Amino acid sequence: MRDLAGGGSDSYRMKLEAGQYVRWAADQQGIDVALRLLAPGGRLITEVDSPSGTQGAEKASVVTDLAGDYRIVVKSGSAKAKPGRYEMKVEELRRRPRRTAPG
């Protein structure tokens, strides 16, 4: 569990391969958060903020197009929000299947 104040954010780095599928979730407890995924170089790939409020899971998923260090950002939706907690977890991580030579 991590504490998060209104207007605050945390970030997590993940080394991913091109074509890799990843699904992650932040279990919100008393604070509404949004999830962002940034590609190597900082380009925003996706942002999710469902209407789940301050309780329950905020989930996102993506298939990467580049290999490298990605950054997942968990951000409070409002600077005026009361402090709360969340638990971040990767729910699924699949590598692209390797192709074998015919043979």
Query: At CA 53, angle to CA 52 and CA 55, rounded to 5?
Result: 85
Tell me which of 95 and 32 has the higher pLDDT: 32
Task: Place 12 in a pLDDT band, splitting at 50, 70 and 90.
Answer: very high
Tell me the domains of the chain and their CATH numbers: 2-94 (2.60.120.380)
Distance CA 59, CA 42 (A): 20
- Residue 54: left (phi > 0), alpha (psi -120 to 50), or beta? alpha
Q: How confident is the model at residue 103 (pLDDT cuts 50, 70, 90)?
A: low
pTM above 0.85, yes or no: no
